[in-house]
Every structure is written in C-alpha cells, then in structure tokens.
Amino acid sequence: MSTLPSETAWLCLAVTAALGGLVLCQLKKSPGQVGRKVVCLAGLWGGACLLSLSLFWGLILFSLSCFLLYIYLSGQELLPVDQKAVLITGSDSGFGHALSKYLDQLGFTVFAGVLDENGSGAEQLRRTCSERLCVLQLDVTNPQQIKDAYSTVVQKVQNRGLWAVVNNAGILGLPADGELIPMSHYKQCMAVNFFGAVEVTKAFLPLLRKSKGRLVNISSMGGEIPLLKLASYSSSKAALTMFSAIMRQELSKWEVKVSTIQPGGFKTNITGTSEMLEKLEKDLLDHLNPDVQEEYGQDYILAYRRILTSFSVHSSSDISPVLLDIRHAISAKSPLTLYTPGPGTYLWLCFFYFSPTGIFDYFNKKFLNFDVNIPRTLSMPKWKNEVM
C-alpha cells in the first residue's frame, strides 16, 4: 500500500511528459506568435502548480492543463492553401505589400488592391510575384472602384470563391494635439481607416459567406490605447475594432470567422511622403483659429517632425510577426479573435486595462515622451499670462 502513491506519481509524471511532447509537436504545426505565448503561459502555470501543491496533485493538475492545451493547439493547425483566394487592400506599401508577396509565395491566389495601379508598389508586385497575383485599382474611399474590384474578383475566382478579405488600407494623418487637428483630417482618417473597410466588407461578404471564409481587419494598438497626438487616427481604428467585434458575432451563424490584428510599433510607410506631410501641415495651419495658434505657438504646433522621429525610434523594422499572425488568422482551423503582434504590445494592452488611470497616464506620457515642448502660453512666466 505504501508504494501506491509513489507508483501513481510516476504514472502521472509519465502521462505529463507524454502530453508535453504532444503539445510541443502540435506547436510546430502552428507557426506565429500565438502558440509560443500560450506555451509560455502554460509553463508558468505548470511551475506554479508544482511549487504550490504537492508533487502528486501538482502533476495531476499540470497533466490536465497539458491535455487542454493540446486540444486548443489542435484548433490552431493551418488549413491547406489549395490556392485559396485572398483580397488585400492597401498593397502599395507596408503590411499590405509585404503580405501580398508572402501569401503569393505560400501559394494563395492574391488580389492586391492598390491606391495607384501604375505606382512603384504595384509594378514591383507584378514583377516579383507569380501569375496568380492580380493587382487591382482599389481606392477604398471610391465606391465605383470597389464595385469594379468585386466584378474582377468574381470573374477570376468563379466557383472557387473568395476565402479571405484583409482590410489593411490605412492612413496616419498628421500627429498633433486633438484640438489642433483640422476636421478634414478627422474625416479623412475615418473615410480610409473605417468607412473604407466597412464598404469593402459589405461588398465582398456574399463571397465570404459562400466560402465560409475569413474577414481580417488590421486595426492598431491605438484602437485600444489612447496614444497621444493620434486622436484622428486612433478614433478611426477604435471604430474599426468595434465593427470587427460586432461582425464577429453576427457572421458566426454563417461560419465566417472574423479576426482583428492590433500591431504595435512597426516601420511602414503609413506616415506618407514628405510632400504629403507638408500638405497636411499647411492644411493644419490654414484652418487653425488665430487665437489657438497664438496660445500653442508655432514651434509647438510644428513639433510633429520630432513626434514622427520618436515613432521611428520605438518601431521595429521586422514586420514578420504581423505577417505570421495574419497568415494564422487566414489559415488556422480556429483563428483567434485578436492578435497583438509586436514587442510588448499585449503587455501594454494589459497595463492599460488593469492599471489605475492616473498611473497609466503617467507612464504613457513618459514612454512616448511627446511633451518635452509645452504650448507657448504655458511656457510664459505667470505674470505675463495674467497681463495677456
């Protein structure tokens, strides 16, 4: 009788080791950041079980955790490509351009929607990708171009259907205090980042329902976290995030799966060219109330150049985590509803949701370091403010 607990413990240890091996094998079939995060959490949980409980009960609980983890990872296996057709908006540069190339290499039939079909990004896709890739003129703010793109896709896919739509097209606008951003900038961000994605989604949903496919919306960490100087951009991405959450529930009855990608800081061309930034700067100054301009001061208003430099410093040039997560959202048997590629992105989201507002605001300002300059009126001595 005295040997029973010891034998049982050894049996539990063997079962745990076997389940752990199955989990690791299953992990290899699920590329990307998802599986690794889950396994790290499981490892921490297992260590806590073994340290806080007796060896016997710790192994029992950890074995059960490994079994549940194996079931979860089984749903993360990737479906075969089989030349599945995918539409990607905003493929001129950045995530969309890299994703078009990546999925084409994997064997997908890619419809790369671009803002300028004669631009350098479109020409590079035609030159470097396979014949399966089709470049589409697709300004997401132009309803006629969306209709034309739909007609082209239907003609080419025929009975194969469209497997996935990736709403990637987006603009950043000019980083500035929310009071300083012209209404035209707010409307432009909403038109591209939100209304464009909604209209593309509505146009292509009949094809996704037919294939029981995937809708993937590229939002932003700014869609959840109040990032300073990005009121117009973050507001539009917050709208897209909520749209995704609602569509995920409404489309579940059609077996269409919806995922939201909220990347952290990555170096892309979302800020636009220097000519575009100069135009946005001129538009901001032209529409600014003289009293407001006087109070803030031109040096403070035009500090966006330093803000963009700060963005670049805190951004990663390796966008492969984003590509892997989008591929997982498109191909996994049971894709996640939310992906947060990027160093520290998920931790920053957790910090925002669980920390007191005052603490978050303090670290948010310190981390972004945007308020080195202060508005002209606030920088003046108190007696001068009173005279004014």
Catalytic residues: 233
Contacts of 182 (CB under 8 A, 6+ apart): 283, 284, 287, 288
Contacts of 255 (CB under 8 A, 6+ apart): 212
Which residue, among 342, 323, 370, 347, has the nearest Cα to 97 in the 3D structure? Answer: 323
- Sign of the four-CA dihedral 25, 29, 33, 37: negative
Buried/exposed code over 272-286 (b: 16+ C-beta within 10 A; e: otherwise): beeeebeebbebbee
Q: Tell me how far apart the alpha carbons of residues 175 and 180 are, in angstroms, rounded to a whole number.
A: 10
Contacts of 206 (CB under 8 A, 6+ apart): none
> Around Cβ 253, how many Cβ atoms within 10 Å?
8
What burial class does residue 145 get, using C-beta atoms within 10 Å of its C-beta: 0-12 exposed, 13-18 middle, 19+ buried?
middle
Q: Tell me how far apart the alpha carbons of residues 22 and 44 are, in angstroms, rounded to a whole number.
A: 18
> Around Cβ 36, how many Cβ atoms within 10 Å?
12
> Around Cβ 64, how many Cβ atoms within 10 Å?
14
Amino acid at 204: F
Question: What's the full length of the chain, in residues?
Answer: 388
Which ranges in the chain belong to alpha helices (H)? 4-28, 33-52, 55-74, 94-106, 120-128, 143-157, 183-189, 196-211, 231-250, 274-286, 290-296, 298-301, 304-313, 320-331, 345-354, 357-368, 376-379, 382-387
Q: Tell me how far apart the alpha carbons of residues 81 and 5 are, in angstroms, rounded to a whole number.
A: 49
Q: Tell me how far apart the alpha carbons of residues 198 and 214 are, in angstroms, rounded to a whole number.
A: 15
